[in-house]
Structure 1
Amino acid sequence: MSVKPADSRRLYLQIAEKLRELIAQPDFAPNGRLPPERALAETLGVSRPSVREALVALELEGLVEIRMGSGVYLCASAHAQGDAALSQAELGDSLLDIMGARCVIEGSIAASVAPFCKAKDLKVLREIYNEMQREVEAGRIPVASDRAFHVAIAQMSGNEVLVRTVSSLFDARHSPLSEKLRGHFENETTWGAVPDEHRVILEALEAHDAIQAQATMQRHLKMSLERVLTGGQRTP
C-alpha cells in the first residue's frame, strides 16, 4: 500500500490550489464574484487569515482582483489561465509564519536585554520612538523608524546574528505576498496604535522588566499581524 507524501508547501499555497480548483467550476463565482472570506474558510476548513493570504497569492497570479469594500472578483482571463501558479520563492513566506517567528525571537531578545539595558542605548531608542510618533502624527507610515526601533533592541544583545535575523525578518515585509497584503489592509489609520505599542515596550526596557518587555513585544507583534490579516473589515 502506497502512502501519499505529506504536502510540504506553505498552507496559503495549498489553499490557493484548492481555490483554483473551485474557480474552475462554472457555478462557483456567480457574476464573477467569489464567496466571502468567511464562507471560503468554512468550506475549506481553514482560518480566514490563511484564506486571505491565499486570495492575495491568486491576485498576484492574475486570477482574481480584490476590491476593497466590495469583494473578490475573478479576472476576465481566470478560466483561461494555465500553469500560472507562483511558487513560494516568487511570492515569499507566509506573513503568519514571519510574525510568528518574530514573536518568538524578538520577545526573547527583549526579555534577555531588559535587565542590562544601558542608559545610552535607551536614549537612542527613545529618540527613535519620538521620531515614529512624529511621523504618525503627520499622517505618514513610519516604516523606517519602526525598523530602527526593532533593530536597536536586537543590537542591545551584542549578538550580530540576532541583529541580522531581526533585520531579515522585518525586511520580509517587502516580499510580493506581504507587500500586497499590507497594500490592501494597512494604512495610516491602522498605524495609529503603533506608537503606543512601542512606548510600552520602551517603558518596560527602561524599567529593566524582562517579563513585561517580552510580553509587550509579543503583544505588539501579534496586534500588528491582526491589523493586516483579521483587523481589516473592508472585505466581506
Structure 2
Amino acid sequence: MSRYAAPGLAGLKAYIAEGDFGPGDRLPPERVLTETLGMKRATLRRALDVLEQQGVIWRHVGKGTFLSEAADDALRNGKAEPAANNTVPFPGNINDIARQLSPVKMVRARLCLEPAIAREAAINASAAAVGRIEEAVRGCEEAEDWAGYEAWDDELHQAIAEATDNPLLVSLFLQVNNQRRGVANRNVVRATERPPRTHTSFVEHRTIASAIAAHDHTWAHDAMRRHIGSVSARLFGEI
C-alpha cells in the first residue's frame, strides 16, 4: 500500500509537498493520483475539494487541476488568499458558515442551485460525463456502509456539476456541498449501518441520471428538485 494512502487529505498534501511541483503546475490526472496514492477516487475527490476550498489548488473543467500561486502558504497554514483569476473568493470561513446554517436554510440553498445544475448538465453532458454519473449511481447502490454511500453521493452530485462543463457552476456546487456535509454531520443520525436496498435515493438517483443521459433538461431539473425535497423530508422532516 502507498505510504500516502491514509488519511486521504494528509496523503495528498504530503504528495504535493514532497513532489517537484511549483505554483501553476498541473497535477497528474485523477487516475494517476489514485494509483500513486493508493486511494479510491471518491476519497481523492473529497481531498481535492478540501484543498480547493483552502486555496491550495484550482480546477479547470477539461484541463485539469493546478497548484495556486499561494499553494506553499496554504499547505503550511491550511488556508490561503484566493489567487487572482484562479479561484472564486469565498465569503468567510467555511466552518463558520456551516455552523450558522440550519438544515432548512441549507436545503433552500440546494434547491436554488442544484436543479439548475442538473438542467445544465442535461443540456451539455458528454457521453463520458454521463458515464461518470452512472458509475457514481452504482457506487451509491453498492456501498457497504453509510460513509461509503456518502462518498459516492458526493461523487454523484459533483459529476453532475462537472457535466455542465461550466467551471463557475462547479465551484459554486463545491462550496454548497461542503456546507451540506457540515450540516448533515451535525444533524443526521443513521438508524442502520448501511443504506437499505429500498433506499429511496437509489431510484431518485437513477431518474436524474436517466434524464441527463436523455438530454431532457426539464426532466432533469424537476427530478433533482424532487430528490432534494425527498431527502430533506426524510432527514429533517421539512423543506
**1:230 shift after superposition:** 1.2
Corresponding residue of 1:123: 131
Residue deviations 1:9-38 (CA, integer Å, cap 9, x gap) = xxxxxxxxxxxxxxxxxxxxxxxxxxxxxx
The yes-or-no answer on 1:170 pairing with 2:200 is no
Where structure 1 has 5 or more consecutive residues not aligned to the other structure, the ranges are 1-87, 232-236
Could you tell me how far apart the structure 1 residues matched to 2:139 and 2:98 are? 34
Q: TM-score, normalised by structure 2?
A: 0.53
2:72 matched residue in structure 1: none
The change in CA–CA distance for 1:178 and 1:121 in structure 2 (over 3 A counts) is closer
Partner residue in 1 for 2:103: 95
Q: How far apart are 1:170 and its partner, in Å?
A: 1.5
Tell me the matched-pair count.
141
Question: In the TM superposition, what are the counterparts of 1:2-151 in structure 2 within 5 Å?
Answer: 91-135=99-143, 138-141=144-147, 142-151=149-158
Distance in 2 between residues matched to 1:129 and 1:156, nearest whole Å: 14
Which residues of 2 match residues 152-171 of structure 1 at below 5 A? 152-171=159-178
Counterpart CA distance in 2 for 1:183 and 1:120 is 35
1:179 is the counterpart of 2:185: yes
Return the index of the structure with the highest Cα Rg: 1
For residue 201 of structure 1, report the CA deviation from its aligned partner: 0.1
Match of 1:196 in 2: 203
Is contact 1:110-1:214 (8 Å) kept? yes
The one-letter code matched in structure 2 to 1:126 is E
TM-score by length of structure 1 reads 0.53
Q: 1:207 to 1:146 in 2, by over 3 A?
A: same
Q: Relative to structure 1, is the Cα distance of residues 195 and 102 closer, same or farther in structure 2, using a 3 angstrom cutoff?
A: same
Confirm or deny: 8 A CA contact 2:124 2:165 kept in the other structure: no
Call closer, same or farther: CA 1:189–1:117 in 2, change over 3 Å.
closer
The 8 Å contact of residues 107 and 215 in structure 1, kept in 2 or not, is answered as yes
Q: CA deviation at 1:116?
A: 2.8
Output the CA distance in 2 between the equivalents of 1:124 and 1:214.
19
Is 1:186–1:227's contact at 8 Å kept on the other side of the alignment?
no
Q: Which moved further from structure 2: 185-194 or 100-109? A: 185-194
After superposition, give the CA deviation of every residue in 1:44-72 in whole Å (9 maximum; x if it has no partner): xxxxxxxxxxxxxxxxxxxxxxxxxxxxx
Q: Which structure is richer in relative contact order (CA contacts within 8 A, separation 6 or more)?
A: 1
Letter in 2 for 1:204: A
Deviation at 1:219, TM superposition (A): 0.5
Tell me the SS of whatever aligns to 1:183: coil
How far, CA to CA, are the matches of 1:174 and 1:117 in structure 2?
Answer: 25
In the alignment, structure 1 residue 212 sits paired with structure 2 residue 224: no
The percentage of counterpart residues that share the same residue type is 23
Per-residue deviation, 1:90: 7.5
> What is the RMSD of the two structures over their aligned residues, measured on CA atoms?
2.5
User: Do the aligned residues in 1 keep the contact of 2:117 with 2:160 (CA within 8 Å)?
Assistant: yes
